[in-house]
Amino acid sequence: MTKNAEHLSEFQIALRGFTQNRLAVSCAYVLLVLYAGALLAGFFAPYSFQDEDRNYSYAPPTQVKIFDNGRFVAPYVPGMKLTFDEYNARIYVIDPVQKYSIRFFVPGDTYRLFGVFPCRHHLFSVDSPGRIYLLGADARGRDVFSRLLYGAQVSLSIGLIGVFISFAIGLLVGGISGYYGGRLDNFLMRLCEMVMMVPGFYLLLALRAAVPDNFNSLQVYFAIIIILSFIGWAGLARIIRGMCLSLREREYVLAAKGLGLSDIKIIVRHILPHTLSYSIFAVMLSIPGYILGESGLSLIGLGIQDPYASWGNMLSDAMSIVRIKFAPWILWPAFCIFLTVACFNVIGDALRDCLDPMLKSEGENT
């Protein structure tokens, strides 16, 4: 597979640069794992997102044991007994009598694989009535691990869909604005400024307030995406517009006009592709904004509603310092958000380095 250097496309060269950045590649793998988890949430999660057991409120992470009295056995989880200390705080103690084996590929709650195929088998589960909480339980005894996976479906997809919509709008508005110039440009850019003028989160709240309360979770989900996209497009549109102002003076744009192509075709085929290298890393760098936006809304109870899980609304449980002290595992969603945002940022930076050769050489010289 030795390819002549001269036949490498610009994209391949950029990809090669990217793969040399170890940190970025490992971040890409982390994201891959997170997205795979979200996609196959039903399979990986032992319980559904609303499967609760009040006897296990704030149960700590279950210990998986493979030794029984010094003998190596199939993995099992010990039973747990609930007691209270002198301040009436819950204390879970291991009950050495009860043992529940962990079983793999067992039928359990039905779910839809990829949201389409009905399916009953889960990667692992324990014999009832035992319960397994890999990452602990929340207030209502729901499995944090399962809810993290289901929450990832919302939190991670909102970033992608939101960025897709707002970039479609941003590219089109920026392209039209930069290509035509004049009054239309003036109007569209003032519009962008108006959107950008309002601080993002307040605009988010204001727009959310305009959405009816009685929406079901799916409607809320789409409402949030639309709101987030509505905020996100303006900054991009301005930058794309600036690039288009210079791109439209290229001779191939004149040539395309001379060939009788329509304006929209010229914008979409001959101008916007040249903003691609910018757009790619701009997309990566702006996805975290959407994830954080959704988390913020859900955190304060305006986003995805219980019992549906999103990383944001799982965190609303963690708004009290006391709960964090006694059940620190409810902070897992925060860790996931942090990880995702950091990964997207590292990847975005790495992409910028390898897609923008000028910037890179500047960095290397210093």
Partner 1 sequence: MSSNLLVVEDLTVTVAQKEIVSAANLEIPFLSVTALVGGSGSGKTTMGLAVLKLLPLGFNVRQGRIWFDGREVLDLSEDRMRLLRGKEIGMVFQEPLYAFNPVFSIGDQIAEVLRAHTPLNLRQRRARILELLNLVGLPNPQRAAGNYPHQLSGGMRQRAMIAQAIAAGPKLLIADEPTSNLDVTLQAKIMELFRKLKDELKLSILLITHDLGMVAHMADRVAVMTGGKIVEQGMTKDVLKDPRHPYTRTLMETIEV
260 forms part of the interface with partner 1 (CB under 8 A): yes
358 forms part of the interface with partner 1 (CB under 8 A): no
Tokens of 87: 């301040």
Give the angle 249-254-258 at the CA atoms, nearest 5°. Answer: 170
| CA atoms of 235 and 189, how far apart (whole Å) | 10
**From 31-39, 75-83, 131-139, 244-252, span contacting partner 1 (CB under 8 A):** 244-252
Quote the least distance from Cβ 347 to partner 1, whole Å: 23
**Given the complex with partner 1, which of 139 and 254 has the nearer CB atom?**
254
**From 117-125, 215-223, 261-269, 320-328, span contacting partner 1 (CB under 8 A):** 261-269
Q: How remote is the C-alpha of 98 from its chain's centroid?
A: 39
Q: Are 332 and 317 in contact (CB under 8 A)?
A: no
238 forms part of the interface with partner 1 (CB under 8 A): no
Quote the least distance from Cβ 15 to partner 1, whole Å: 16
**Given the complex with partner 1, which of 156 and 266 has the nearer CB atom?**
266
**Given the complex with partner 1, which of 218 and 254 has the nearer CB atom?**
254
**From 91-99, 135-143, 224-232, 265-273, span contacting partner 1 (CB under 8 A):** 265-273
254 forms part of the interface with partner 1 (CB under 8 A): yes
**From 32-40, 200-208, 213-221, 255-263, span contacting partner 1 (CB under 8 A):** 255-263
328 forms part of the interface with partner 1 (CB under 8 A): no
In sequence order, what are the residues at sequence separation of 6 or more whose Cβ sits closer than 8 angstroms to the Cβ of residue 209? none
DSSP letters for 297-345: HHHTTSSSPTTS--HHHHHGGGGSHHHHHH-GGGGHHHHHHHHHHHHHH
Q: Which residue has the tokens 């324990």?
A: 126
262 forms part of the interface with partner 1 (CB under 8 A): yes
**From 68-76, 84-92, 170-178, 254-262, span contacting partner 1 (CB under 8 A):** 254-262
| Residue choice 265, 326, 328, 342 for contact with partner 1 (CB under 8 A) | 265
Quote the least distance from Cβ 240 to partner 1, whole Å: 16
Tokens of 273: 């592709």
**From 125-133, 171-179, 266-274, 280-288, span contacting partner 1 (CB under 8 A):** 266-274
Quote the least distance from Cβ 249 to partner 1, whole Å: 8
* Interacting positions 167-206 with partner 1 (CB under 8 A): 181
Radius of gyration of the chain (CA): 25
Q: Are 43 and 113 in contact (CB under 8 A)?
A: yes
Exposure of 322 by Cβ count < 10 A (0-12 exposed, 13-18 middle, 19+ buried)? exposed
> In the chain, what's the furthest Cα-to-Cα distance?
86
357 forms part of the interface with partner 1 (CB under 8 A): no
- φ/ψ bin of 106: left (φ > 0), alpha (ψ from -120 to 50), beta (otherwise): beta
* Interacting positions 59-78 with partner 1 (CB under 8 A): none
| Residue choice 183, 251, 364, 366 for contact with partner 1 (CB under 8 A) | 251
Q: Are 135 and 144 in contact (CB under 8 A)?
A: yes
| Residue choice 269, 320, 342, 363 for contact with partner 1 (CB under 8 A) | 269
Exposure of 315 by Cβ count < 10 A (0-12 exposed, 13-18 middle, 19+ buried)? buried
What DSSP state is assigned to residue 137?
B
36 forms part of the interface with partner 1 (CB under 8 A): no
**From 47-55, 124-132, 250-258, 301-309, span contacting partner 1 (CB under 8 A):** 250-258
Tell me the site size for partner 1, rule CB under 8 A: 18
Tokens of 255: 């040539």
Tokens of 200: 């993002």
Quote the least distance from Cβ 235 to partner 1, whole Å: 25
Beta bridge partners of 117: 113
Q: Which residues are near partner 1 by CB under 8 A?
A: 181, 250-252, 254-262, 265, 269-270, 273-274
